[in-house]
Structure 1
Amino acid sequence: MTVVVLWGVEDAVLRELSRAQVRARVLVRVAITMGFLAVVYVGTGVLDDALDRFTDGHDGITDHQTEVMFRILQITLYIGALIVILGFWNLDLSGLLIGAGFAGIVLGMAARQTLGSVIAGLVLMFSRPFEIGDWVQVGDKQGIVTDITIVNTRLQTFDGEYVMLPNDVVGSSEIVNRSRKGRLRVHVSVGVDYETDVEHAMDVAKDAVSDLDDVLSVPRPQVVLSSFGDSAIVMDVRVWIDKPSSRRHWRAQTAVIQSVKTAFDDAGIKIPFPQREIAGRAETGGFRVHEPGADGETDD
């Protein structure tokens, strides 16, 4: 030390030692940061395996839902790791958090409908009111579900058109899933004359649809009286089909109508046309047929 002082380089040596210590601390922090990132990366793989083992034991969770859950957990883990690293490097997070909050408010106001669709998409993926390939009705739209994304749901209508429905619209609408139970009931209304023996007509209609190829034998077809029509007693013929689709629905309905019409014709049961009865009041003499020449009138 005496030699160093004598040479006048004491300050220079101290500065070099201080710089070396700073560099060493930086290198240590870099090494710790890299090691922490490696642990986080390995942790995501462990998380993925654990999530797969969990979902394998639950048949109600699809692969698509598992992937969505993993991505959400992965992003959450990465965000937490980033906050830890920034704190480890003694960076001031207050300004960053304020800026991120302000940017989030601006983006939320600018893209509130998109964010609503994203949130609704997550809800749909977990609640599973329908899956790809299901025949559904959403509001006044119906068709086959061909795709479900985080933002929208796509249907193929029975006219061959593709309809894109935002998930927030789907989530706020009434959803009817005609494929969920694997079978569907088809209704066909038919009227018979008021003079007809309705019990006999019901038996004829039931026998006519019992042996159709497109109709299930269990549950059995039913025929019930529906209402008093203007010119007929209306019966409701109810049959079931399996693997519901638009084609099978219309094919079964057509077969039921043809079979019931043929059976009624063979049994002499009349399906009346719309008709009305006109009655005159007795105190006014009822109806009178006006004849030419009456009351001094002549034919032209």
Structure 2
Amino acid sequence: MTDLLVPDATRTLVTAGAKPPRRRPVAGAKRPARRIGRVIGYAVMILAAVALLMPFFWMIMSSLKTPNDVFSAPVKWFPETWVWSNYVDIWTQSGMLTWIRNTLVLAVVVTFLQVLTGSFAAYGFSRMRFPGRDVLFLVYIGTIAVPWQSYMIPQFILLSNAKVSNTLWAIILIQAFGAFGVFLMKQYYDTIPEDLSEAARLDGLSEYGIWARIMLPLSVPAIASLTLLTFVNTWNDYLGPLIYLRSPDLWTIQLGLQSFVSTLYDANYALLFAGLTMSVVPIAIVFLFGQKYFVEGIATSGMKG
């Protein structure tokens, strides 16, 4: 009777003196732990996202309040009376259109020049061979560690002597070149196989043609990342325009909104927050359309192909 209850395979192993096969652990045993870890990870990310977005939510809600309700105690997250006219008043009572126009011109021109000069210089450091190339690259990249405040006054004197102070050209000239853009583009160029450049040279393509027709089309993620970072930094720049742009007709949106706060107790913060909300919209739109390439460009820069 006992032999009838033992499977044939097990009976054969026992008869031969071999040990029965061990049972593998069930794969589903690890699933609850993974699910718990995933839930905890999502919960932490949600809390972090809420903490980051809460100031923006409060700013938007404050832009729809009356001036006396902005800093009420206790804090009122939602306005009792929705004052949509704040967005109309910010246009009629200020030079918002002029500020946005100046800021947009600076952001677009500076971004274009930084992408152009950064990608071109990066190609030289990545593909050209000349004595002292690595040393020159390290020295140039080392300028990133030098704070702008240390050479701000000599730079202002230089631009003043060049008769470009109190013009938009002053901001364009000091920001048209950036060591970070060269570093970012060079790291991405290094991931592109050298064989493509060699094949193009054999076909008679010049170095300018290789840069324009091969390297740039293959570097869209890095270009998008540099474009987004430069546009955001130029749009949000306050200190540069504060130093060089003294005429109200040349003010950027940051300088214009600062003019609303003449004194701490004599300021319409509801209009100020309405203007701040409007200043964030272009940045949000640019990031929304470029986030895919931005993440890809940052993730792949510095990786050797």
TM-score by length of 2: 0.20
Kindly indicate which of the two structures has a greater share of residues assigned to strand: 1
More helix by share: 2
TM-score, L = length of structure 1: 0.20
Q: Which has the higher contact order (CA 8 A, sep 6+)?
A: 2
- For the pair shown, the structure with the greater C-alpha radius of gyration is 1
